[in-house]
Amino acid sequence: MSSAPEKLTPMMQQYFEVKRGLPKDIILMFRLGDFYEMFHDDAATASKICGLTLTKRGETPMAGIPHHAADNYITKLLAAGKKIAICDQAEPAKAGKLVRRAVTRILSPGTTLAANQLDAQRNHYLCALTLDKAGLHAAWLDLSTGEFRVATDARPENLLPVLTALDPAELILIEGDLERWKTAPHDQSAIHALHAFCEPRLCTDLPGYHFETAEGLRTVTTILGVLNLQGFGLAHDHPALGPAGALVHYATENLCAKPENLRSLQEYRSARTLLLDPATLRNLEIFQSSRGTRDGSLLSAINRTGTAAGARLLERWLAAPTLDLAEIQRRSALVGELLADPLHLGELREWLDNVRDIPRILGRLQNRLRNPRELGGIRDTLSQLPAIRATLSAFGPNSQLSSLNSQLEELPSLLQLLTSALADALPNDLADGNYIRAGHCPELDRLRSLTTDNKTWLSDLERGEQERTGIRSLKIKFTNNFGYYIEITKANLHLVPPDYIRRQTTVNGERYVTEDLRTKEKEIFHAEENALAREQALFAALVAAVLDESIALARTADTLAELDVLAGWSVLAREWDYCQPVLDEGDTLEIIEGRHPVVEQMLKDPAVAAGRGTTSFVPNDTLLSSTDAQLALITGPNMAGKSTYIRQVALITLLAQVGCWTPAKTCRVGLVDRIFSRVGASDDLARGNSTFMVEMNETANILNNATDRSLIILDEIGRGTSTYDGLSIAWAVVEHLHRDPERGPRTLFATHYQELTQLEKHLARLRNFSVAVKEWNDEIVFVRRVIPGAADRSYGIQVARLAGLPITVIDRAKVILQKLESDDTSVELPSAATPKARPKKKITVTPEDNAQLNLL
């Protein structure tokens, strides 16, 4: 921050006193009247991010924003990774006296609560981490909903998958930890992955004593209001209590009060979930596509939720797929029940569409962010519950949906109170008033009538003064700074009566008051103030009534979110003809006519009306077993669909294990503990890693961590180096995956190395497959069908022709390929000759062509 001027006004002295009490990286928004002002470096930073005009008062740079529009600018600053301290007036302004000001809230990307600063369909996590010789310890908190979890694992690579999937908005670390981790007693690949996770995110450092286990235990038990954590299944010395305590401390500092919506603490255990490492999340485009957007991701393809809480629950289920077979089967069966009754499913979806975001509304109410519309959201949701429960009951008494129905609490007394107390149309600001319904409180009605009568008196006074003075343009007006006044234009000043008291000269005329107007102004102000004060007191009582039922409301909201996800999956299954997967503890993965859930939707014929999707996607079968057909080696040309095929198998497996139905004719999945993928080509030049080094890092992670219950998809291992080096590495990887004489991880291995197909003769659990193509006059057409047996060749030159390489290059490549395949090294390759002129031919293969060729 720039140095302060030598002589400071009292207001600027107050500003610097507040600024000194804040960390240097926080932008201070200082309330002055109707504006928040920023000074010095804060003003320069905010002006660049928000597009504000940077001005000066003397030598002091400054930038201001209207307080009523502050949320829009704060959102931009948070998106840029900045933290903001809000300094408000702590008392009413009085003439001649410096107003006392205080920081009321510190906003950071991980602790913001305002609705317009959060993505309604995503959880918003604040995460704390520590690493020691015992392993990685983590805690994460969504302050907007109260979700609070801890986890610890001796192997950091087991926790990083779920942390990456959660994608926290802000990390809390011990000062200097990022540097100390480089010498930590852990595998360097794990340390590298931990750094890769932390570095793109906003990291806030705190002193180490905030992370001590004993301090964390004291902080957490205090905030939860319990004597110990035995009721949550946690020991008093759980190593993640340190990070949990640091989270609570940081949240308390930023809220300038204790978080009031923390009610429980749950432990996450990686052994209970299917793990997807960061590379797999990226390669399979689980949460975002390769373009960095939600569109084109698996999450987007299967999201048919109608509520914000449902969308967030779906994201959490995908981030940590359960290994609890009974729970998976329960979800799958519920989808089936909803799907079997489309009439009541439609009714349920219609009611759910009117459900509001109860978890976040409760979070804001409990943490002092309150406005009338939040209570309206509670009222509107409670009003839907009778219809939702009646619809669920229609599925029958033996339906598994009855268990969810019993978890919904209608709270009729609270609904009746909110309905009778709240107006139909609600403002977003308590200061606007008129949110309490007329007739709810006789005293409020009396005060309002005084205000209405006074305003009628003012209207009558205006007409009377116009008649008395003969000034037809006479107006009685009001401003916050000046109060009520009579405005007379310059042309009529000669008609002003002697009892008018002049108060102010303006460009167009003069402003006056009368003794009667002064008296009435006091009455009006008192009536409005008293009415607003009474309304705010009634609102506070309504908030208290809602918070008294917060546990029941939260439980009901969780059930509604689950119903929303399951109902959405039922719609998805009907739209795209999904099947109910069979899950068991076996080692078989069998998919009949499987389709890629994302690509299939992207190929949908836009002319097809709503209903079951019609696409040109070609389905394929898969059969893998840890003890039999363990390793499928897939050959075929580029663009034929090898990569799409192996990814669809992984995605179908993932969908089955979260409880969703799957895009296939039939599907059977023996539970998978981890899904690994190595596909595509990317580098990490910032850390000095070439494309090939990234490929080898990801392959090493797979080989070191896969079990015989894992599913692995590998695409073009070894292609980033020389032919013989790459072939040798790919060969050795296949042998390593097959090293156990009895069983191994179920694996799909796509490759262009034809030589690897020979391994089928030597490895009992390896099977050769290829992606079929149709040849037509020296051209190829992709059939997209995976068939048993190895491909006879790679068709690389034909694919190059489809890509539009010059015909001279294609012809020359054919000559060179012929000599190389003849293995005649004694004959020098011929020099390039000028080819005969040939017409340039371009082939366009449409989905319809593929569909027809499948019949050949």
Sequence ranges of the binding site: 636-643
Give how far Cα 15 sits from Cα of 10, 98, 158, 367, 455, Å: 9, 12, 47, 26, 41
Beta strand pairing status for 501-505 and 582-584? unpaired
Binding-site members for ATP are: 636-643
Residue whose tokens read 């996450």: 268
Give the DSSP H or E segment for 847. helix 847-853
Amino acid identity for residue 395 in this structure: F
Contact 377, 357 (CB under 8 A): yes
Beta strand pairing status for 35-39 and 60-66? antiparallel
Give how far Cα 261 sits from Cα of 138, 145, 523, 547, 745, Å: 20, 7, 42, 10, 44
- In 3D space, the residue among 141, 74, 146 whose CA is nearest the CA of residue 108 turns out to be 74
Residue whose tokens read 């205090």: 222
- Provide the Cα torsion 677, 621, 791, 804; round to 10°: -70
- In 3D space, the residue among 787, 781, 795 whose CA is nearest the CA of residue 846 turns out to be 781
Q: Is 66 exposed, middle or buried (0-12, 13-18, 19+ CB in 10 A)?
A: exposed
**CB contact set of 718 (below 8 Å; sequence gap of 6+):** 725, 726, 727, 728, 729, 730, 733, 753
- In 3D space, the residue among 262, 271, 355, 420 whose CA is nearest the CA of residue 564 turns out to be 355
Q: Two tokens at 499?
A: 């009892």
3-class DSSP state of 817: helix
Give how far Cα 542 sits from Cα of 336, 513, 530, 551, 820, Å: 41, 41, 18, 16, 83
**CB contact set of 750 (below 8 Å; sequence gap of 6+):** 634, 635, 642, 643, 645, 646, 713, 714, 715, 716
Residues pairing with 60 in the sheet = 57
Within 10 Å of residue 392's Cβ, how many Cβ atoms? 23
